[in-house]
Amino acid sequence: MRKPFIAGNWKLNKNIAEARAFAEAFAPMVDGVEDVEIGIGVQFVALKSLVDAFAGSKVKVGAQDCYWEESGAFTGEIAPAMILDAGAAFVIIGHSERRQYFGETNETVNKKIFAALEAGLEVIMCCGETLEEREADKTNMVVKDHLVNGLAGLAPGQMNKITIAYEPVWAIGTGKTATPEQAQEVHAYLRELLERTFGRETAQTTRIQYGGSVKPANVRELMAKPDIDGALVGGASLEPESFAEIVKFNS
């Protein structure tokens, strides 16, 4: 049985005061939630403040990227151990915005995943196709490329720290959600790939989140699909009320 994992991805939003104010409002709203794991990915500068603000709650805090080296002459970069040191539990790696704007490749995703696991962080690894790729019938090819190469070299035993996020690029921030059927189809394919790569047990226990315009109005039908095990939520995670409603989809 996979426990759903619903994570917010705040992207380049919220300063320290805004992050703290969110936590104060949000923590009591999800206080009684036991059956869903909750996370929020925040910009680096507010990481420690958000961890402190959520102290005593079950909300996990995460970063939105990391570098793969531990230390050294890499101006501007942040090491996974530093993210852990700030009290974070997870890091989002390979988001399509990083692939699109910041030169992220499967190879850098793979290096970052190894470094994050080595440091003791959990990972949300993102994959997903663009509209042109979907229209050219390349969805499976693209997500296979992201998944297989992003996770290359990992042992099945390392997969218990990894969540996959399927995020069709055309559904991110556009208000266009994949239909539950479209999402389920890709999730089932991703699980099949996990099985081929890591074996049946790992495939059955690895959580696959859907991301792309998830909101209170569509989360239930998405979560009802057998291979959708959670959500990675951008816009609708910025307000405590809407994110709490998403997290409490089954109550």
Binding mask 139-178 for ligand PGA (x = CB under 6 A): ----------------------------x----xx-----
Query: Between 104 and 167, whose beta carbon lies closer to ligand PGA?
Result: 167
CA 26 to chain centre: 19
Six token digits for residue 112: 């970052």
> Binding to ligand PGA by residue 37, rule CB under 6 A?
no
Catalytic residues: 95, 167
Asked if 146 and 107 count as a contact pair (C-beta separation under 8 A), the reply is no
Instruction: Say which residues have a Cβ less than 8 Å from residue 103's Cβ, sequence separation at least 6.
Output: none
Distance CA(171)–CA(154), nearest Å, equals 29
Distance CA(231)–CA(171), nearest Å, equals 13
Distance CA(66)–CA(80), nearest Å, equals 6
Binding mask 39-78 for ligand PGA (x = CB under 6 A): ----------------------------------------
Query: Between 162 and 203, whose beta carbon lies closer to ligand PGA?
Result: 162
CB of 228 to ligand PGA, least distance (A): 14
Query: Between 6 and 79, whose beta carbon lies closer to ligand PGA?
Result: 6
**Shortest CA distance to 89 belongs to which of 42, 112, 127, 123?**
123
Six token digits for residue 15: 């300063």
Residue 76: Cβ-neighbour burial (10 angstroms; 0-12, 13-18, 19+): exposed
Q: From the list 214, 219, 244, 247, which residue makes contact with ligand PGA (rule: CB under 6 A)?
A: 214
CB of 167 to ligand PGA, least distance (A): 6
Query: Between 47 and 231, whose beta carbon lies closer to ligand PGA?
Result: 231
Q: From the list 147, 183, 233, 244, which residue makes contact with ligand PGA (rule: CB under 6 A)?
A: 233
Q: From the list 39, 150, 180, 212, which residue makes contact with ligand PGA (rule: CB under 6 A)?
A: 212
> Binding to ligand PGA by residue 128, rule CB under 6 A?
no
> Binding to ligand PGA by residue 235, rule CB under 6 A?
yes
Query: Between 47 and 171, whose beta carbon lies closer to ligand PGA?
Result: 171
Distance CA(114)–CA(155), nearest Å, equals 11
Query: Between 59 and 203, whose beta carbon lies closer to ligand PGA?
Result: 59
Give the amino acid at 153: G
Q: From the list 6, 9, 117, 162, which residue makes contact with ligand PGA (rule: CB under 6 A)?
A: 9
Residues binding ligand PGA (CB under 6 A): 9, 167, 172-173, 211-214, 232-236
